[in-house]
Structures are given as C-alpha cells and as structure tokens.
C-alpha cells in the first residue's frame, strides 16, 4: 500500500515536469575566436592512402576516423588536378577535426616524390580550397630513415604552426 502512494506521487510529479533549456558553453566559458589559427596536422601522402597525425609537445599520434564514419582517403595521382587534391584535403581536414573536436587550419605534407614542377602549386591550391594552409611540403627522402612520415610531419607542423596572438 505504501509503495502505491510513492509511485502515484512520482507519476503525478513526472507529469508536471516542464522542459527546461540550458546553454552549452566552451570549457573556459568564453566564445571561440574564429580568427585564431586552428590546429596544425601532419599528412603522409607517400602511399596509396593518406595518413593523418597530430602532435602536442612533440608527442604525435595518428588520427583515425570515428567508428561508423570510416573513409578511405586515397592519395591522388601525381598528374591529378586541383579538384582531386582538394577532395583529399577536405577528407583529411574532416578526419582531423572530428578526431580533435577543434578546427584544423594548417598542415605539413610529406610526398613520395615531386613529379613535375606544377605539382606543388596544384597541391597548395587544392589545400587552400579545402581550407588548409600548407606550411611545408617535404619529400619522404628528406626524413630520417625509419621515421613515420605522418608522425614526423605532425611534429614539424606543431613547430611551424602560427600561435594565437603572436604576429
């Protein structure tokens, strides 16, 4: 009998509950500065598929897609146009922003080889169209032997990235 009174009170109380809205704020309580540079990432474009990495304090990690959002990011052919590079960079940026939960604006890119003098220009234009600034293009042969291209590029990107509030 006593249980019935408690259940009836809970039920009648639940019917009177109003929907309340709440505000979500950034952890520090302030708005995000949209003019501040985003994160800088490393991109290994030496193989058939792109590998993306991020570094903090010289400690780099390869970024993957979230479960259910897996996407193959193929490296365009050296003769590919700006549109194919843009598509690759858009995929890279989406992967990094989802993994980091913050904007990404800069990258260091490692290539296997530079096939033709126009490749760096097409690559930079494709990156710019995807919202990324290429801080440096490097060749795999320029990296230390045995080093992971993505992780090395991420550490270099961290070093070269513009700092908020620093001209």
Nearest to 152 by CA among 73, 64, 45, 53: 53
Q: Considering only 14-28, 37-51, 136-150, which range has the smallest mean pLDDT?
A: 14-28
Domains of the chain: 34-160 (3.30.420.40)
Answer yes or no: are the C-beta atoms of 139 and 111 closer than 8 Å.
yes
pLDDT recorded at residue 70? 87
Alpha-carbon distance 96 to 102, whole Å?
8
Alpha-carbon distance 148 to 145, whole Å?
9
47-93 pLDDT, tens digit per residue, is 999 999 999 999 999 999 888 888 899 999 888 889 999 999 999 99
Alpha-carbon distance 84 to 82, whole Å?
6
Of all residues in the chain, the percent with pLDDT exceeding 70 is 77
Highest average pLDDT, of 16-30, 105-119, 140-154, comes from 140-154
pLDDT recorded at residue 28? 53
DSSP state string for 137-151:
EEEGGGSPTT--HHH
Residues 6+ apart with CB under 8 A from 63: 41, 52, 53, 54, 95, 96, 99, 100
Q: Which residue has the tokens 């096939």?
A: 115
Looking at per-residue pLDDT, the higher value among 95 and 14 belongs to 95
Q: Provide the pLDDT confidence category of residue 109 given band limits of 50, 70 and 90.
A: very high
Record the tokens describing residue 72, joined without a space.
């193959």
Q: What is the DSSP letter of 161?
A: S
How many Å separate Cα 42 from the centre of its chain? Answer: 10
Going 61 to 52 to 57 to 66, the CA torsion angle's sign is negative
């Amino acid at each position: 009998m006593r249980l019935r009174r408690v259940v009836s009170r809970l039920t009648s109380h639940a019917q009177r509950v109003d929907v309340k809205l709440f505000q979500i704020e950034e952890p520090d309580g302030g708005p995000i500065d949209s003019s501040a540079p985003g994160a800088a990432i490393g991109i290994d474009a030496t193989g058939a598929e792109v590998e993306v990495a991020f570094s903090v304090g010289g400690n780099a990690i390869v970024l993957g897609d979230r479960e259910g959002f897996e996407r193959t990011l193929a490296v365009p052919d050296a003769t590919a146009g700006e549109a194919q590079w843009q598509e690759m960079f858009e995929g890279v940026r989406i992967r990094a922003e989802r993994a980091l939960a913050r904007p990404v604006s800069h990258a260091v890119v490692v290539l296997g080889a530079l096939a033709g003098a126009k490749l760096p220009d097409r690559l930079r234009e494709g990156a710019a169209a995807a919202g990324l600034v290429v801080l440096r293009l490097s060749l795999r042969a320029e990296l230390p032997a045995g080093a992971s291209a993505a992780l090395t590029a991420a550490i270099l990107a961290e070093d070269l990235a513009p700092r908020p509030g620093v001209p």
